[in-house]
């Protein structure tokens, strides 16, 4: 429902005000056929009247800076909005509410909420927004900036309860996946702040961590998962190396191994490849002196 308010350049209006006041003080003394007392009385009456008229006209003057707007009201009625920068004059006796259309940043406090798995986490985000509908921003909500702040915290809480902190299953999104989470947060915020005439340009999570009471336990869990994943890769690689060694021994006829010796060789190779410590050579004394 935004519409442009009627306006003219303010500079000719200022000139008109000066001319009115000058004429109000100059015309009565120039009248002929009047006594000096009548001319003085006329000046006393006309000059204040001209000044009042000039003041009423001047009440419509306003200055609009770049990326700002003036919402014009005439005795409670919405007249329109001036968005073009410059010195303007609109309807006299109107209220002119200043409204910034610049880009704003808002960072939420660190909120403590439970994620989708029930783990308490601390989360905060930054929201980049600006006013696009001056009518809704002025009359749709009580305070559009405060409305954005409250809705941002509500959206962050809802987002935190919808995803786990860390996805322990493949194919499941988590709060640590910044692109997916930020896009969903931005879309939700855009729906929430439409009533205030605000456009959300971007939103991103700036802080994400487990709550202090479970941070140590969750760190131990992450370390255990990392160890298990590393062991899995080591075993997978070791099995491939042992299989390749047996195939080469067989193809190149280096040595003939029966099933028992193959099993012993596989066991020894896996111990060497998968062990944490370096292999220690063992000399079989029975073989040397037997």
What 3 state SS string does the chain have?
A: CCCECCCEEHHHHHHHHHHHHHHHHHHHHHCCCCCHHHHHHHHHHHHHHHHHHHHHHHCCEEEECCCEEEEEEECCEEEEEECCCEEEECCCCCEEEEEECCCEEEECCCEEEECCCCCEEEEEEEEEEEECCHHHHHHCCCCHHHHHHHHHHHHHHHHHHHCCCCCCCCCCCCCCCHHHHHHHHHHHHHHHCHHHCEEEEEEEEEEEEECHHHHHHHHHHHHHHHHHHHHHHHHHHHHHHHHHHHHHHHHCCCCCCCHHHHHHHHHHHHHHHHCCCCCCCCCCHHHHHC
Total number of domains constituting the chain: 3
C-alpha torsion sign, points 200, 202, 203, 206: negative
- pLDDT value at residue 135: 94
- Asked, for residue 12, whether it belongs to a domain, the answer is yes
Residues 146 and 237 in one domain: no
Residue 255 placed within a domain: yes
Domain boundary among 210, 242, 266: 210
* Whether the predicted model's global pTM rises above the 0.75 cut: no
Rounded CA separation 282/290 (Å): 16
10-residue averages of pLDDT along the chain (290 residues): 88 91 74 65 77 91 95 93 95 94 93 87 94 94 94 93 78 78 92 93 90 68 68 74 73 67 69 61 50
Closest CA to 70 of 136, 10, 4: 4
Q: How far is CA 155 from CA 100, 148, 187, 199, 228, in A?
A: 24, 10, 10, 15, 36
What is the number of alpha carbons within 13 Å of residue 75 lying toward its C-beta? 2
In a domain, 60, yes or no: yes
> Do residues 70 and 164 both lie within one domain?
no
Residue labelled with tokens 């080591």: 234
Boundaries of domain holding 195: 104-210
> Are the beta carbons of 2 and 139 closer than 8 angstroms?
no
Specify the pairing of strand 8-9 against strand 86-89: antiparallel
Tokens of 48: 């204040």
Q: Between vectors from CA 134 to CA 133 and to CA 140, what angle results, nearest 5°?
A: 85
Query: CATH number for the domain including 188?
Result: 3.30.479.30
CA nearest to 150, candidates 111, 202, 103: 111
Measuring CA to CA, which residue among 97, 61, 62, 67 is closest to residue 83? 67
> Does one domain contain both 88 and 125?
no
My answer on whether 203 and 109 are in the same domain is: yes
Looking at the structure, tell me whether residues 202 and 220 fall in a common domain. Answer: no
Residues 108 and 90 in one domain: no
Same domain? For 110 and 92 the reply is no
């Amino acid at each position: 429902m935004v519409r442009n308010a009627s306006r003219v350049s303010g500079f000719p209006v200022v000139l008109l005000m000066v001319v009115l006041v000058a004429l109000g003080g100059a015309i009565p003394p120039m009248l002929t056929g009047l006594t000096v007392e009548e001319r003085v009385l006329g000046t006393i009456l006309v000059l204040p009247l001209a000044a009042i008229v000039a003041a009423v006209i001047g009440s419509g003057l306003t200055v609009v800076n770049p990326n700002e707007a003036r919402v014009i009201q005439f005795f409670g009625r919405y007249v329109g909005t001036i968005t073009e920068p410059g010195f303007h004059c609109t309807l006299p006796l109107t209220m002119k509410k200043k409204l910034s259309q610049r880009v704003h940043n808002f960072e939420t406090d660190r909120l403590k909420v439970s994620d989708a798995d029930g783990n308490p986490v601390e989360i905060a985000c930054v929201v980049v927004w600006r006013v696009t509908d001056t009518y809704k921003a002025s009359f749709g909500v009580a305070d559009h900036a405060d409305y954005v702040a409250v809705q941002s915290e509500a959206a962050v809480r809802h987002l935190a309860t919808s995803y786990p902190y860390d996805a322990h299953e493949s194919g499941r999104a988590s709060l640590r996946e910044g692109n997916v989470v930020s896009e969903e947060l931005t879309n939700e915020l855009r729906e929430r702040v439409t009533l205030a005439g605000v456009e959300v340009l971007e939103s991103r999570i700036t802080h994400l961590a487990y709550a202090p009471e479970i941070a140590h336990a969750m760190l131990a869990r992450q370390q255990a998962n990392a160890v298990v994943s590393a062991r899995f890769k080591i075993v997978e690689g070791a099995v491939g190396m042992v299989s390749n060694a047996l195939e080469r021994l067989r193809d190149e006829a280096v040595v003939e191994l029966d099933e028992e010796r193959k099993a012993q060789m596989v066991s020894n190779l896996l111990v060497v490849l998968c062990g944490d410590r370096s292999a220690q050579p063992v000399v079989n004394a029975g073989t040397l002196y037997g």
